[in-house]
A = this chain, B = another copy of it.
Amino acid sequence: MSVTLHDVARAAGVSIKTVSNVINDYPHVRPATRARVNEAIGELGYQPNLSARSLRSGRTGAIALALPELSLSYFAELADSVIRAAERVGQVVIIEQTGGDRERELQLLSSSQRKMTDGLIFSPLGMGMDDAARLDVSYPLVLLGERIFDGPTDHVTMRNIDAARAATEYLISQGRRRIAIVGAHEGEVVGSAGLRLRGYREALDAAGIPFDEQIIAYTTLWHRSNGATAMRELLSRDVDFDAVFGLNDTLALGAMRVLQEAGYRVPGDVSVIGFDDLDEAMYSLPSLTTVDPGRAEIAEIAVRSLMERIETPQAVEAPRLHLAQFRIVERESTATA
């Protein structure tokens, strides 16, 4: 049915090896021969059979990206960046959604689907430090996120503590002293929530501002509705605060909404900062000051690291950790009058 190397070879009057050489840009082919082969390829509309090539070469040309779910904007934007980065190095991306479920994440690590790709970029949410050993797999793997540190693989992520400290310092520099937190996770140490809370505390300590449990609002999930609920709870506690640090943008956006509904002016009465620099942070009312955690850089480095491991698997270099550059993006929600 489909046209093969043999067909092209026959049409061009050469052997299949020569056709193969032309296709793979093998240098030592006479220009005239090359031209003849290319013509035959064009005429017959030959396209290499990628499965055969994979079987032979052991490379598929695809990498997998596993993440919780695309309908969470952060991950959609991450996927966008990863696909772009992969495209630059000639790889396609298979996306697998885990729903942040630990069992599914664990399964996925040893699923036979792995055989379909050259490597995996993995952003777990359900797994924790105790599962680190499970990352010691036999294929190229790059870890994303803050669920597991010091694991057996390359790890690319953001400077959560530093960035959260910077965000808090930024609010303090604007004269805010009572900075509420939305989205903390009870007792968490690593994980985005734990790390960002730690950065917050560091900034408080450095400024000599006491930490007040009363203005910390906990949520399990980080959707906009959780931010809204957390803020309602905060308001019902009847405590004082003059700023809110949403541990991510959607939380901040949800909290900001409730704040405004309750009659507070943002940033007049309360200034608000988020974390992630989602597209939508730019268009909220008021637009949201936030932390750009370096998503594009994370994607770029993750793909590059993975490709290095794919291309030179023998290089048993120690696991590498890369922390992307962050920056505060100032917008209206923290503007000073």
Contact = CB atoms under 8 A, between A and B. Distances in A.
Interface residues of A, number: 49
A260 B283 CA distance: 13
Contacts of A79: 70, 76, 95
Contact of A55 (B52, B257, B261): B52
A84 interface: yes
A54 B49 CA distance: 10
Contact of A97 (B50, B80, B260): B80
A279 B76 CA distance: 13
Given A50-B112, A112-B48, A283-B228, A94 B97 contact: no
A312 interface: no
A312 to B, nearest CB: 16
A174 interface: no
Interface in A44-93: 47-52, 54-55, 60-62, 69-71, 73, 76-77, 79-80, 83-84, 87, 92-93
B224 A280 contact: yes
A61 B284 CA distance: 41
27 contacts: A47-B112, A48-B112, A49-B115, A50-B113, A51-B51, A51-B116, A52-B55, A55-B55, A61-B116, A62-B62, A69-B80, A70-B77, A70-B79, A71-B80, A76-B76, A76-B79, A79-B95, A83-B96, A92-B116, A224-B283, A225-B283, A253-B283, A257-B283, A257-B285, A260-B285, A280-B280, A285-B285
